Amino acid sequence: MRTRRSRHDVVVVGARCAGAATAMLLARLGHDVVVVDRSRPGTDTLSTHGILRPGVVQLSRWGLLDAVLASGAPPVREVSFRVGDAEVIRPVKDRAGVDLLVAPRRYVLDSILAGAAADAGADVRFGMTVAALRRGPGGRVSGVVAHDASGEPTELSARFVVGADGLRSRVAREVGARIIEQHPTDNSTFYAYFAGLDWRGFELHVGHPGLAGVFPTHGGQANAWICSPAAMAARLRGSDNDRGAALVDSIEQLSPSLADRLRGARRTSPVRGAVRLPNHVRHASGPGWALVGDAGYHRDPITGHGISDAFRDAELLARALHHALGSPTDETHALASYQRQRDALLRETYDITCALSEYPKPDRFVELQRQLAKAIDDEARFLASGPGAPAIEEIAA
């Protein structure tokens, strides 16, 4: 069987939030980018998919927010926070240039991003599985070997390979990207979709130990979810038919009022979830390679910051690779700056996430949520400044 070969500036492995965004931005900067993903276009992935203000800022800056809203994802203009019988409802204020939040289904959001990458000139190839990395002299990563569904092999050479292939990244594994920081977890996150009620905004319901919530999404549905210690999720981990009831029963332990509403709604999906998702940070780059999104940094879903992290780091990496491609002698400095800036910007939300994922008592939980809200607004203001953002030395100071 003949092997197809081509050469590019950058090969991106993974065409979801982090990978498609990185490819789009690099292509908009004029670089030759190819993106490969083993999935079919328009497929879903495990995600509660609420996008906080920093992620909405990025979508707006990139000219994609209108497309997300046009897809039917409802604009969210209020957030409710409930502890016991006390509830606070706040409007989403106009800050950093946006006055709404949004929770598009991932198969919709990822398709919009991949389409934007293709529109910018990136070569987006679905149904392509990476089998190995190629290496040049001195062990530098120089591309990938992949195959399509028929098994036809393809060699893609490149100056850089970007691993945007998720938590269990093959790229990270093959380059030996070490974990430089981690925080143990004993968590679980499960969710399902419900229809038939008026979902007005994002909802957070604090109990002990855990957090439940609602994110309105397409088609009059909402993603209803729970984050709790793994032991609380025993009934949710089986394959029996009562997982839907078990999800609502688990939510009832944290918020009886939300559980009552869900029992009056119609569940429209199976229950999905995971246990003991890690809090860890990986080394971000090396000779010929870099990591972005969950491949490089993963945190507990309890803070709902994963998509915002992916967008932020995609832009940081695209800028770094743009400089490295334009001036090869600056490669080491550019990639080191990417890691320093990424690590500086993730610091506060990572620490808050680690603290929340230990499920402290409600008063401490509320205090941490206030800190998180401030950190999110600070990050949104930084991201809204776009290419004129402060230098890494100012951020880390």
Read off the pLDDT of residues 326-365 as tens digits, 9 standing for 90 and up. Answer: 998 899 999 999 999 999 999 999 999 999 999 999 999 9
Beta pairing, strands 297-298 & 289-291: unpaired
For residue 10, the surrounding DSSP H or E stretch is: strand 4-13
Same domain assignment for residues 41 and 125: yes
Is pLDDT at 386 greater than 80 in this prediction? no
> Residue 387's pLDDT band (boundaries 50, 70, 90)?
low
Segment 139-144 mean pLDDT: 96
Rg (CA), the chain: 21
Residue 271: give its domain's CATH number. Answer: 3.30.70.2450
Residue 92: give its domain's CATH number. Answer: 3.50.50.60
Q: Where are the alpha helices (DSSP H) in 16-64?
A: 17-28, 53-61
At which of 255, 275, 295 does a domain end? 275
Same domain assignment for residues 34 and 142: yes
At which of 275, 292, 327 does a domain end? 275
Same domain assignment for residues 258 and 313: no
Q: What is the pLDDT of residues 8-31, one digit of tens each?
A: 999 999 999 999 999 999 999 999
Domain that holds residue 161: 4-183+283-396
Q: What is the pLDDT of residues 56-76, one digit of tens each?
A: 999 999 999 999 999 999 999
Query: Total structural domains in the chain?
Result: 2
Same domain assignment for residues 241 and 328: no
Q: What is the pLDDT of residues 104-119, one digit of tens each?
A: 999 999 999 999 999 9
Same domain assignment for residues 66 and 145: yes
Same domain assignment for residues 294 and 389: yes
Same domain assignment for residues 122 and 11: yes
| Distance between CA atoms of residues 369 and 367, nearest Å | 5
* pTM confidence score: 0.95
Is pLDDT at 379 greater than 70 in this prediction? yes
Q: Of the given ranges (91-100, 232-241, 262-271, 281-290), which has the lowest mean pLDDT?
A: 232-241
At which of 210, 245, 275 does a domain end? 275
Peptide bond between residue 209 and the one before it cis (omega within 30 degrees of 0): yes
Same domain assignment for residues 293 and 270: no
The confidence score (pLDDT) of residue 55 equals 97
| Distance between CA atoms of residues 270 and 243, nearest Å | 8
Is pLDDT at 391 greater than 80 in this prediction? no
3-state secondary structure of 90: strand
Same domain assignment for residues 230 and 339: no
> Residue 396's pLDDT band (boundaries 50, 70, 90)?
very low
The confidence score (pLDDT) of residue 237 equals 78
Same domain assignment for residues 48 and 161: yes
| Distance between CA atoms of residues 326 and 263, nearest Å | 58
> Residue 388's pLDDT band (boundaries 50, 70, 90)?
very low
> Residue 239's pLDDT band (boundaries 50, 70, 90)?
low
Same domain assignment for residues 35 and 8: yes
Is pLDDT at 226 greater than 60 in this prediction? yes
Beta pairing, strands 289-291 & 153-163: parallel
> Residue 395's pLDDT band (boundaries 50, 70, 90)?
very low
The confidence score (pLDDT) of residue 150 equals 84
Sequence-separated (6 or more) residues with CB below 8 Å from residue 49: 103, 104, 105, 106, 109, 215, 217, 223, 307
Same domain assignment for residues 177 and 88: yes
Segment 247-264 mean pLDDT: 96
| Distance between CA atoms of residues 323 and 317, nearest Å | 10
Mean pLDDT value across the chain: 94
> Residue 241's pLDDT band (boundaries 50, 70, 90)?
low
How many CB atoms sit inside 10 A of residue 132's CB? 12
